[in-house]
Chains A and B, each alone.
Chain A
Amino acid sequence: MEIKGEYQIRSSRGDVWQALNDPEMLKKCIPGCESLEKISDTELAATVMASIGPVRARFNTRLTLENLNPPESYTLVGESKAGAAGFGRGSADVTLTENDDGTLLSYVADFRVGGKLAQVGSRLVLGATRKIANDFFGNFSRELDPGATRVGADDAGDGKVTPRIWLAVAGAVAVLLIWWFLLR
């Protein structure tokens, strides 16, 4: 499954990059995040409580940052396990582009789920993941820029994509989320 999105953030590209690499910031913004720690410069471990439809579970997620090209782009690779309930894994390419309004964050995430999560939740995964991604970016934007307002529609619309102002930031995260969900 693939999801993608774009978020306009009224902060400089450097600030956005910093925030994306700040475990405390991420922890604050990821819905249901119980712990998030940096294992090395390129590895994160997170525990996230999430639910997709009828499935609620704790996802143990490990994320690796690859293709680092600060402060422009990186790839987030992740895998979440939720025991007998299944797993999720995938990757997201995240790009930060400077523009007049600050920084445009765009991501393309490709992920898949397995086990019971796929069996009972496959139809719900995409929607739930979008919501989590949006919640995350919403939180992230507000943390970076409390005055931000949301404009436009996200990419799932009619093809005319106007970036949302206050939705901004880490596709990666989206991926995470996804996983935890999925991963339950």
Chain B
Amino acid sequence: MTENGFGAAVRRKEDHRFITGLGQFVDDINRPHQLYAQIIRSPIAHGKINKVDVDAAIAMSGVVAVFTGADMAADGVGGIPCGWGITSKDGSPMVEPGHPPLAAECVRYVGDQVAVVLAETRAIARDAAELVDVDYAELPSVANLESASADGAPLVWDDAKGNICFDWEIGDKSATDAAFAGADQVVTIDIVNNRLIANAIEPRAAIGDYDAGKDEYTLYTTSQNPHVIRMLMGAFVLSIPEHKLRVIAPDVGGGFGSKICHYAEEAIVTWASRKVNRPVKWTADRSESFISDAHGRDHVSHAELAMSKDGDFLGLRVSTRANLGAYLSTFGPAVPTILYATLLAGSYKTPAIHAEVKAMFTHTVPVDSYRGAGRPEASYLLERLVDKAAKQTGIDPIELRRRNFIQPEDFPYQTPVALEYDTGDYDAAVVKAIELADYANFDQRREESAARGKLRGVGISTYIEACGIAPSNVAGALGARAGLYEVGTVRVNPTGSVTVLTGSHSHGQGHETTFAQLVVEALGVDFDNVDIVHGDTGKVPFGMGTYGSRSAAVGGVALMNALEKIRTKAKKIAAHLLEASEDDIEFKDGQLSVAGTDRSVAFGDVAMAAYVPHNYPLETLEPGLEETAFYDPKNFTFPAGCHICEVEVDPDTGVVQVVRFTAGDDFGRIINPMIVDGQVHGGVTQGIGQALYEQCVYDDSGQLLTGSMMDYCLPKADNVPNFAVTTNVTPCTHNVLGVKGCGEAGAIGSPSAVINAVLNALSDYNVDDLQMPATSERVWQAMQGNG
């Protein structure tokens, strides 16, 4: 291993500026003469806008303008587009309603944007917003899947009968029916996957900055994918061509999927900046984040597993209703379909699977990706179901899983739900995890807990996920409206330092470190002589951004391919300088040498020769040393693993404490094990949050009741144990790095392990159903038989 190269636990370069307060987040940026925007949002879930009276606000000193939906419509501003189209069973396209950045006629959730005040200071903008008087005719609303599905339910969109956006299916229904007909036993389960709010530490923010001299726009925004925002906002909403629109996503403080989407505020500040010919800045406060950031999850499912008498899985049938909120967010329709139902095979060789998904509109915040996006929902359903099957059949839960695992010799393995897994060794992960978890001695720990009056339980999950989304042609066939490749440019500067321009975006992932490690490995340059540039469409040629654990597996490979081009060209230059054949040049540790001789030239000298080409093969080679690669993967990657959770339940109060948590993961080859550990820790913590604490609640009239940290419970440091983390490695077979991705695994594998552990702890109480979050009240009620 090269020092600071591939596989080294290098400390994160970017942390110096983050922990010393020197990061540059959107709200740290101020443009000369900028105005501050305050958005007026709907206080009701559904209503017709009769009148928006802005006179008093405009009259206020310091207010520059107030704009409404009518103003934007009059300017021909388009609707916010959806990035993924889904086709229903009957061949009809999904219902795709218009989504104006400012609602002009009707509001459809509490938080829907109605008007914007622009003022000289943030305080004036807020005060003026109080003076904007919106007269609504309130209409009946549906706040959850249950009420949206009811007969005669109020409609979110007239076109969406029964509030159904699409009714989709995957898998072979008749084969599945046949499997059930021939089954010896069937296990069923009803699952609610609780709605979550991402709560990135940095609230969203945006600055629109119009340059009248050049007729150019710059948008600074808290995004995971600035090029995608440029494409969506430029082409669909504001009709600004790419060369006149620059989107910058500087340091971003966490995304978790909630910063993938193109949001109305981005279009509002960009458009408004031109209207008033001044920069316009908007920064959400935490309250605003709760009612305007895309929410996550929110599924209700029924599932059935058909088994032989020996516990072999024969068929799986799943029926899911998914809440999309009031409008279609950027990836909203993809989450409960392509990213969910295709993962229902899990790590098992269930031969027949059929899933149907009904996606519904409700008068709530739009729902989109949240760490894992679809895959946690699939994994949770499956692993709860398998545990229930173990209980019902009396087969040990680990043994039952092993019996049904896809075996190493089965790869590549075609699942009944579209995916082809390239590689894996699921049993190896289990072996590593149960050893690290000291699973064999659990009974001893249970007795020890019992001596202290606590109920101890252990739960397991064996998850799989599809990451590194994706091959563009496959994604396109599945409804994606954009490509899903990635782009990397390697610019070797004349003195041999390296600037990398990547289309991936780091908002916590540590790319400035891991991508630099790839450069160190490939070119042998000093770690400190590598700079990773990302998040600026004015600098980076192109990119699709970071989500779906795709940075290393797609962006990293694009970078590797560009590095390979640099290596090839460097060898040609070195061959000229050393008067040798290109084939005889070896490139190692930053030196290019003629094989079998002591003649060599340093990489830095090669770079200098490329930019000062006095002695250079100009007739056959261009000067300069800069290469770009676009990389489109052949397949998804398939990280998998085994999570084991131990909990203690206080029988008097129902309080659950996670006391041990072990993750054995297969992420393929690992660039930086320290960063991978950190990703697992964060993901598992969010998974524990979903399992035990977090729950987004609307009341019947569509008011968000969990609208602040007082009522929305995030996991805290004392809610999680020290994690035990290990990995086994089966390299991805179709990318040169052999990497699979690790960003979401923790949140995907852990919720079912936690709930399975709680149910195990309650095994004396005859509780076989418990929904997330397993709050103390829910657990206690279940113990009283009120589950």
Question: How many Å lie between the Cα of A112 and that of B131 in the bound state?
Answer: 23
A25 within 8 A of B: no
Question: Chain A nearest CB: distance from B286 CB in Å?
Answer: 10
Question: How many Å lie between the Cα of A112 and that of B703 in the bound state?
Answer: 10
Q: Are B287 and A120 in contact (CB under 8 A)?
A: yes
A150 within 8 A of B: no
CB-CB under 8 A from B132, the residues of chain A are 83-84
Question: How many Å lie between the Cα of A114 and that of B129 in the bound state?
Answer: 17
B682 within 8 A of A: no
Nearest residue (CB) in A for B43 is A115
Q: Are A118 and B131 in contact (CB under 8 A)?
A: no
Q: Are B133 and A83 in contact (CB under 8 A)?
A: yes
B284-305: CB near A (< 8 Å → 1, else 0) gives: 0001001100000000000000
Nearest residue (CB) in B for A89 is B138
A137 within 8 A of B: no
Question: How many Å lie between the Cα of A123 and that of B708 in the bound state?
Answer: 11
CB-CB under 8 A from B110, the residues of chain A are 114-115, 118-119
Question: How many Å lie between the Cα of A119 and that of B44 in the bound state?
Answer: 11
A33 within 8 A of B: no
Q: Which of A84, A85, A114, A123 has the most CB atoms of chain B within a 10 A radius of its CB?
A: A84
The contact of B43 among A86, A120, A122, A123, by CB within 8 Å, is A86
The main secondary structure of chain B at its interface with chain A is: loop
Question: Chain A nearest CB: distance from B329 CB in Å?
Answer: 20
Q: Are B705 and A84 in contact (CB under 8 A)?
A: no
Question: Chain A nearest CB: distance from B612 CB in Å?
Answer: 62
Question: Chain A nearest CB: distance from B290 CB in Å?
Answer: 7
A142 within 8 A of B: no
For residues 95 through 119 of chain A, which have their beta carbon under 8 Å from a beta carbon of chain B? Answer: 112-116, 118-119
Question: Chain A nearest CB: distance from B433 CB in Å?
Answer: 40
B763 within 8 A of A: no
Question: How many Å lie between the Cα of A80 and that of B425 in the bound state?
Answer: 63
The main secondary structure of chain A at its interface with chain B is: helix
Q: Are A116 and B287 in contact (CB under 8 A)?
A: yes
A140 within 8 A of B: no
Interface size on B, residues (CB 8 A): 22
Assuming the contacts A114-B703, A119-B290, asked whether A87 and B43 have C-beta atoms less than 8 A apart, the reply is yes
Q: Are B701 and A84 in contact (CB under 8 A)?
A: no
CB-CB under 8 A from B287, the residues of chain A are 116, 119-120
Q: Are B708 and A119 in contact (CB under 8 A)?
A: yes
Q: Are B129 and A123 in contact (CB under 8 A)?
A: no
Question: How many Å lie between the Cα of A104 and that of B110 in the bound state?
Answer: 40
Nearest residue (CB) in A for B117 is A84
Q: Are B703 and A85 in contact (CB under 8 A)?
A: no
Question: Chain A nearest CB: distance from B287 CB in Å?
Answer: 6
B121-149: CB near A (< 8 Å → 1, else 0) gives: 00000000111110000000000000000
CB-CB under 8 A from A120, the residues of chain B are 287, 707-708, 710
CB-CB under 8 A from B704, the residues of chain A are 118-119
Question: How many Å lie between the Cα of A44 and that of B291 in the bound state?
Answer: 34
Q: Are A114 and B291 in contact (CB under 8 A)?
A: no
CB-CB under 8 A from A112, the residues of chain B are 699, 701, 703
B584 within 8 A of A: no
Question: How many Å lie between the Cα of A85 and that of B44 in the bound state?
Answer: 11
Interface size on A, residues (CB 8 A): 15
For residues 116 through 145 of chain A, which have their beta carbon under 8 Å from a beta carbon of chain B? Answer: 116, 118-120, 122-123
Question: Chain A nearest CB: distance from B254 CB in Å?
Answer: 22
CB-CB under 8 A from B291, the residues of chain A are 119
Assuming the contacts A84-B40, A86-B43, A114-B110, asked whether A119 and B703 have C-beta atoms less than 8 A apart, the reply is yes
For residues 86 through 132 of chain B, which have their beta carbon under 8 Å from a beta carbon of chain A? Answer: 110, 129-132
Question: How many Å lie between the Cα of A84 and that of B40 in the bound state?
Answer: 7
Question: How many Å lie between the Cα of A129 and that of B615 in the bound state?
Answer: 86
Q: Which of B44, B133, B707 has the most CB atoms of chain A within a 10 A radius of its CB?
A: B707
Nearest residue (CB) in A for B705 is A122
Question: Chain A nearest CB: distance from B137 CB in Å?
Answer: 14
CB-CB under 8 A from A122, the residues of chain B are 699, 703, 705, 707, 711
CB-CB under 8 A from B707, the residues of chain A are 116, 118-120, 122
CB-CB under 8 A from A84, the residues of chain B are 40-41, 43, 129-130, 132
The contact of B44 among A83, A114, A116, A123, by CB within 8 Å, is A114
Question: How many Å lie between the Cα of A92 and that of B89 in the bound state?
Answer: 50
Assuming the contacts A83-B132, A84-B129, asked whether A114 and B701 have C-beta atoms less than 8 A apart, the reply is yes
CB-CB under 8 A from B699, the residues of chain A are 112, 118, 122
Question: How many Å lie between the Cα of A132 and that of B266 in the bound state?
Answer: 42
Q: Are A85 and B130 in contact (CB under 8 A)?
A: yes
CB-CB under 8 A from B131, the residues of chain A are 83
Q: Are B710 and A123 in contact (CB under 8 A)?
A: yes
For residues 38 through 97 of chain A, which have their beta carbon under 8 Å from a beta carbon of chain B? Answer: 83-87
CB-CB under 8 A from A113, the residues of chain B are 703
For residues 699 through 728 of chain B, which have their beta carbon under 8 Å from a beta carbon of chain A? Answer: 699, 701, 703-705, 707-708, 710-711
Supply 15 further A-B pairs (C-beta < 8 A) apart from A84-B43, A87-B44: A83-B129, A83-B130, A83-B131, A112-B701, A113-B703, A114-B43, A114-B44, A115-B110, A115-B703, A119-B110, A119-B704, A119-B708, A120-B287, A122-B699, A123-B710
6 contacts between A and B (CB under 8 A): A83-B130, A112-B701, A114-B44, A115-B43, A118-B707, A120-B710
Interface residues of A (CB under 8 A from B): 83-87, 112-116, 118-120, 122-123
The 6 lowest CB-CB distance pairs between A and B, nearest first, are A115-B43, A119-B707, A118-B703, A83-B130, A120-B708, A86-B43
